[in-house]
Amino acid sequence: MASTHDAAARGAQVLVASNRGPVSYTVGEDGSLRSKRGGGGLVSGLSAIGPEAGALWVCSALSDGDREAVRRGVGEEGVRMLPIPADVHADAYNGIANSVLWFIHHLLYQTPLEPAFDAEFRRQWASYETYNRAFAEALAEEAGQGAAVLVQDYHLCLVPGMLRALRPDLRIGHFSHTPWAPVDYFGLLPTDIRERLLRGMLGADRLGFLTRRWADAFTACCAEYVGGTGGTRIGVHGLGADADFLRERSHRPDVQERMAVLRGEIGGAGSGSERRRTIVRVDRTELSKNIVRGLLAYRQLLDDHPEWRERVVHIAFAYPSRQDLAVYRDYTAEVARLSAEINERYGTPGWTPVLLNLEDDFARSLAAYRLADVALVNPIRDGMNLVAKEVPVVSDEGCALVLSREAGAYWELGEDALVVNPYDILETARALHEALTMKPEERAERVKRLAAAATALPPAQWFLDQLTALRDLQPS
Ligand code: G6P
């Protein structure tokens, strides 16, 4: 086996580390492995630097199929999946990352009862450390001398510090795709844990955030809990929508087919009747996305403005996410229940007020984007929210955007959106009415500016900027 020194001499020059990788595997009935590639900003970014850059993506094996692929030694070049034991991964991913860190950064706790940091929490935390250590060790093994390592997200907060100890020669970056919690809310975490998280991240040379607001929140937490950010630099990179990809992809035949089906479901296009309006939302069924209050606001709209009955349809696509967690399953059930209740109460033989779909279908999402008159993006809190950026780019007629002031995207799109407090149902209902009645000329003007702002920093450039900033750092 090669020594660490030999490996460093010929190892990768650019490394990305994230929980979810660019490819996943399933085992077919005949025992064969099938692979599926994902998308997103990192995938575009890595393809932009080209195969000759010697890049390596280190990620977790998430499914049984992924673990089987590792066992059989099957895999794509440039991707290393870590076969972290399923129970360790579940504790780290479901237990700590998604049930604690995600909740802290998105302000999701119902604080009279939770969080409760008990012995079970400590057990899961030990797994989170083990899981982070597995990444740090794999990166230390694979990285060439002085390589740039770009660690992603709240799953891997401890990696920068651990990796720094193993390989002081590396340039280490970390990027948060989530918001960062306000000081007092971050302070809910046990004293030693919040320090370990912050110090783990501060092991990086450079930390990236999606907006200035989240970067400032992180800095404030460091000032309060660990006496500052030390020599770590902090940068803001507001990931934008990929206009070229979206425009091309949304005009392919599979999207056209789904548009025809959706038009049929929307209905109301018979001779003599005016075209029905659409309010579109597309999300993971995610607590922070605020789908339930979105439905309540739509119901309020139908109450306050009966003239919209029969004339508007709410298309709500809410795709399964993190279904191992009971609270996500319950939330999904509530979304379904409330949609059914609205349809029951207001629906007529020729009009279904809410078209809810819980099955993930990218082509159908794009079809809905194209048909959108209004895009509803009302998260409680969101790192950026790319849907807010994508719909204005794709919508055929140019949509109006109803946008939460708590989404990172608000800082870039707020001026041309109808901005709402995500907790305020009545305000959201008023914004929906305003969006539906916006004059075509105004809507066209606004959507032009929204699309320009939304695509200002395409994914490849977003990634390259971070890589360049990391490589150009002078020692502090
Ligand atoms: C957020 C996180 C990402 C994550 C995504 C999907 O956007 O910042 O890191 O990949 O949610 O969540 P999942 O748990 O399915 O990977």
In the chain, the domains with their CATH numbers are: 4-239+460-471 (3.40.50.2000), 243-455 (3.40.50.2000)
Amino acid at 447: V
Q: Can you read off the two tokens belonging to residue 181? A: 């919690």
Of residues 406, 417, 459, the one with CA closest to residue 175: 459
Cβ contact 378:293 at 8 Å: yes
The overall longest dimension of the chain from CA atoms, in Å, is 77
Tokens 């800095």, located at residue: 219
Contacts of 297 (CB under 8 A, 6+ apart): 376, 378, 425, 426, 428, 429, 432
The answer on pLDDT for 9 being more than 80 is: no
* Ligand 1 pocket, residue 177 CB under 6 Å: yes
Amino acid at 291: I
**267-295 burial by CB neighbour count: b if 16+ within 10 A, else e?**
ebeeeeeeebbbbbbbbbbbbbbbbebbb
* pLDDT at residue number 3: 45
The answer on pLDDT for 270 being more than 70 is: no
The 10s digit of each residue's pLDDT in 282-340 is 999 999 999 999 999 999 999 999 999 999 999 999 999 999 999 999 999 999 999 99
* pLDDT at residue number 476: 60
* pLDDT at residue number 46: 85
Residue range 354-382: mean pLDDT, rounded: 97
* Ligand 1 pocket, residue 178 CB under 6 Å: yes
**3-class DSSP state for residue 314?**
strand
**Alpha carbon of 192 to ligand 1 centroid (Å):** 26
**Alpha carbon of 231 to ligand 1 centroid (Å):** 29
Question: Which atom of ligand 1 sits closest to the CA of residue 97?
Answer: 14
Question: Which atom of ligand 1 sits closest to the CA of residue 153?
Answer: 9
Amino acid at 137: E
**Alpha carbon of 384 to ligand 1 centroid (Å):** 12
Question: CA-CA distance, 257 to 147, in Å (whole number)?
Answer: 46
- Residue 11's φ and ψ, nearest 5 degrees, are -75, -175
The answer on pLDDT for 4 being more than 90 is: no
Question: CA-CA distance, 49 to 388, in Å (whole number)?
Answer: 27
**Alpha carbon of 44 to ligand 1 centroid (Å):** 17
What is the share, in percent, of the chain residues with pLDDT greater than 90?
Answer: 91
Ligand 1 atom 7, closest CA? 177
Cβ contact 399:372 at 8 Å: yes
Ligand 1 atom 16, closest CA? 20
The answer on pLDDT for 389 being more than 70 is: yes
Contacts of 424 (CB under 8 A, 6+ apart): none
Question: Which atom of ligand 1 sits closest to the CA of residue 20?
Answer: 16
**Alpha carbon of 409 to ligand 1 centroid (Å):** 17
Q: Best substitution site from 18, 19, 157 to test ligand 1's pocket, by max atoms within 8 Å of Cβ? A: 19
The 10s digit of each residue's pLDDT in 80-134 is 999 999 999 999 999 999 999 999 999 999 999 999 999 999 999 999 999 999 9
Confidence of residue 43 (pLDDT cuts 50, 70, 90): confident
Specify the higher pLDDT residue, 21 or 44. 21
State pTM to two decimals: 0.96
Question: CA-CA distance, 471 to 468, in Å (whole number)?
Answer: 5
C-alpha distances (whole Å) from 429 to each of 300, 376, 394, 464 are 6, 11, 24, 40
N-term to C-term CA, the chain:
36
The 10s digit of each residue's pLDDT in 221-258 is 999 999 999 999 999 999 999 999 999 999 999 999 99
**Alpha carbon of 98 to ligand 1 centroid (Å):** 9
* pLDDT at residue number 8: 55
Question: CA-CA distance, 88 to 426, in Å (whole number)?
Answer: 44
* pLDDT at residue number 376: 98
* pLDDT at residue number 269: 60
Residue range 414-419: mean pLDDT, rounded: 98
**Alpha carbon of 376 to ligand 1 centroid (Å):** 20
Ligand 1 atom 6, closest CA? 321
Confidence of residue 447 (pLDDT cuts 50, 70, 90): very high
The 10s digit of each residue's pLDDT in 196-224 is 999 999 999 999 999 999 999 999 999 99
* Ligand 1 pocket, residue 322 CB under 6 Å: yes
The answer on pLDDT for 21 being more than 70 is: yes
- SS3 letters across 1-64: CCCHHHHHHHCEEEEEEECCCCEEEEECCCCCEEEEECCCHHHHHHHHHCHHHCEEEEEECCCH
Question: CA-CA distance, 83 to 70, in Å (whole number)?
Answer: 7
Given the DSSP bridges, would you call strands 23-27 and 33-37 parallel, antiparallel or unpaired? Answer: antiparallel
* pLDDT at residue number 380: 98
Label residue 137 exposed, middle or buried (CB < 10 Å: 0-12, 13-18, 19+). middle
The answer on pLDDT for 32 being more than 60 is: yes
C-alpha distances (whole Å) from 21 to each of 43, 111, 336, 348 are 9, 33, 30, 45
Contacts of 11 (CB under 8 A, 6+ apart): 141, 142, 143, 144, 145, 147
Amino acid at 213: R
* Ligand 1 pocket, residue 321 CB under 6 Å: yes
**Alpha carbon of 260 to ligand 1 centroid (Å):** 31
Which residues of 242-296 form beta strands (DSSP E)? 277-284
Ligand 1 atom 4, closest CA? 20
Question: CA-CA distance, 18 to 411, in Å (whole number)?
Answer: 26
Count of CB atoms situated within 10 Å of the CB of 420: 26
* pLDDT at residue number 2: 43
Of residues 319, 294, 290, the one with CA closest to residue 382: 290
Question: CA-CA distance, 203 to 472, in Å (whole number)?
Answer: 18
